[in-house]
Structure 1
Amino acid sequence: MLLAIDTATRTASVALYDATGILSEHSWRSNNRHTVETAPAIAAMLSQLGVGPEALRGVAVTTGPGSFTGLRIGMSIAKGLCLALGIPILGVPSLDVTAYAAGDPGGPVLAVLEAGRGRICVARYHFVDGLPVQEGEVALVRASEWTPTFDALTLVAGEVNAALAERLLNLPDAERVAISSLAGSVRRAGYLAELAWERLEAGESDDLDSLAPVYLHQPTSGS
């Protein structure tokens, strides 16, 4: 069984997964309470399934970009469990999870996540064999100033709030924009688990000592 921990943004999510699929999943608006809420949420899922941490074969965790505090807490919990249980850790970029959750629309995907203080992280993806492949670098921009251009019908997926959606739909080439639903924008650790499961089954893992969060800006209090 694989535990997945996604604390990249104010919406936290944890999931338990095995070869049959998602066994349990919990997503909630944590804001900056990852420290006190994430570990109890994991314990509650394990208890509900009637198993203990020793049932885990690995832990998947989002590596960023995202909230400094959230990423640090998620990584700390994941590493602590892997060290204590002697199991592998698997890091997955946060925006890979966003793009994968959107599914393959047959064209480009712009994956978006909140970065705090009115900023968003954005990366462009295309799909190969059902998996997202990032194109270029991740951009950190102010949501109120983001004016992308679209050369093809593009799905904008992830944490796209109503104000950002309205801006995008009023751009000159808005006819080439599709936006994921509000429900579809909720971060779900089940998608993280699904991406990591194939790696776990193939015997892959990341180095426990060197795996670290990826930040796009200097961490500040409350970010």
Structure 2
Amino acid sequence: MLLLAVDTATDQGSLALVEEDRVLGEFSLSAAGSYLKFLLPGIETLLTQTGRRLEEVEALAVSQGPGNFTGLRIGLATVQGLAWALNIPVAAVSTLEVLAAQLPFHPHPVGVLIDAKRREVYLGRYLCPEDQPQALEAPERLPLEALAARLSPPLTLTGPGLSAYEQFLRAELGPDVHFAPPEKRFPLASTLARLARGRLTEGKAVPPQALLPLYLRPAL
């Protein structure tokens, strides 16, 4: 299965083209450059670099958030349009789950944080004993000051939310909370593709018209 994965949920987006379990190509996109301007050209560049044509893509994967409101809208709308045009299946995966999956075979629970702005965060808590994260609870949006009460060590934190709040969290949570290395804190489209492939194999494709962002709060 040739699968195109699109992640525009955070300020550092990602595209990947994956065939079965082999990553043919992957690169990052920056929200600062506007996903609206660069997403479709990025897909064209990825296909050119890998020597594939759009018509060869057999499935799509998209990160559904939570995260950047504008980025989510652009990514979902692009994948929705491609799914209709190519008549191929789509899998949607939580951005929190993608980030947790980047810490496979992890000995401690994993807390994933994405900045929700206004000193709030999106939180997902997972067990990652293998390469498929297991959610401990539904994701939620919390004020930063309430976060410590929701996290119990031993624990490893990851996600782009650490960029803004790592110093505060280290002071609040103490030495028994670990922090993922910087290269693991942004979602990779290749990780998204791996999780999506599992969903598609299980028959869990999402109809294009049912692709919806996971905001966890009303978009402004």
TM-score (norm 2): 0.90
| Structure whose residues are more often helix by fraction | 2
Q: What does residue range 1-223 of structure 1 map to in structure 2 within 5 Å?
A: 1-31=2-32, 33-127=34-128, 129-143=130-144, 146-148=147-149, 150-171=151-172, 173-220=173-220
Could you tell me whether the CA contact under 8 Å between 1:11 and 1:29 is conserved in 2?
Answer: yes
* 1: CA distance, partners of 2:119 / 2:11: 13
Task: Verify the 8 A CA contact 1:160 1:182 in the aligned structure 2.
Answer: no
What one-letter code is carried by the residue in structure 2 that aligns with 1:177? V
In 1, Cα distance between equivalents of 2:31 and 2:160:
15
Contact 1:10 1:32 in 2 (8 A): no
Deviations 1:125-153 (A, max 9, x none): 11354311112232223446643454331
Which sections of structure 1, spanning at least 5 residues, go unmatched? none
Name the aligned partner's letter for residue 120 of structure 1. Answer: V
SS at match of 2:43: helix
Counterparts in 2 of 1:163 and 1:219: CA distance versus 1, 3 Å: closer
How much has 1:209 moved relative to structure 2? Answer: 1.8
One-letter identity of the residue aligned with 2:66: P
Is the CA contact 1:168–1:177 (under 8 Å) kept in the aligned structure 2?
A: no
Contact 1:109–1:124 (CA under 8 A) maintained in structure 2: yes
Deviations 1:51-108 (A, max 9, x none): 1111111000011211221111111111111111110011111111011112232121
| Length, aligned pairs only | 219
- Looking at structure 2, the residues matched to 162 and 6 of structure 1 have their Cα atoms a distance apart, in angstroms, of 19
Mean Cα deviation higher: 123-132 or 9-18: 123-132
1:166 CA drift (Å): 1.4
> What is the RMSD computed on CA atoms of the aligned residues?
2.0
**Alpha-carbon distance in structure 1 between the residues aligned to 2:84 and 2:178:** 43
Q: Relative to structure 1, is the Cα distance of residues 16 and 70 closer, same or farther in structure 2, using a 3 angstrom cutoff?
A: same
Q: Quick one: structure 1 residues 140 and 85, their matched pair in 2 at CA, closer, same or farther if it must change by over 3 Å?
A: same
CA distance 1:144–1:159, change in 2 (3 Å): farther
2:6–2:189: 8 Å Cα contact kept in structure 1? yes
Structure 1 residue ranges, 4+ long, deviating more than 6 angstroms after superposition: none
Q: Aligned partners of 2:165, 2:149: CA distance in 1, in Å?
A: 12
Percent of residue pairs bearing the same amino acid type: 29
Amino acid at match of 1:193: A
Change (3 A) 1:149 1:63: closer
| Separation in structure 2 between the aligned mates of residue 13 and residue 117 of structure 1, nearest angstrom | 25
Q: Which moved more, 1:190-199 or 1:145-154?
A: 145-154
Task: Tell me the SS of whatever aligns to 1:159.
Answer: coil
* TM-score, reference length from structure 1: 0.89
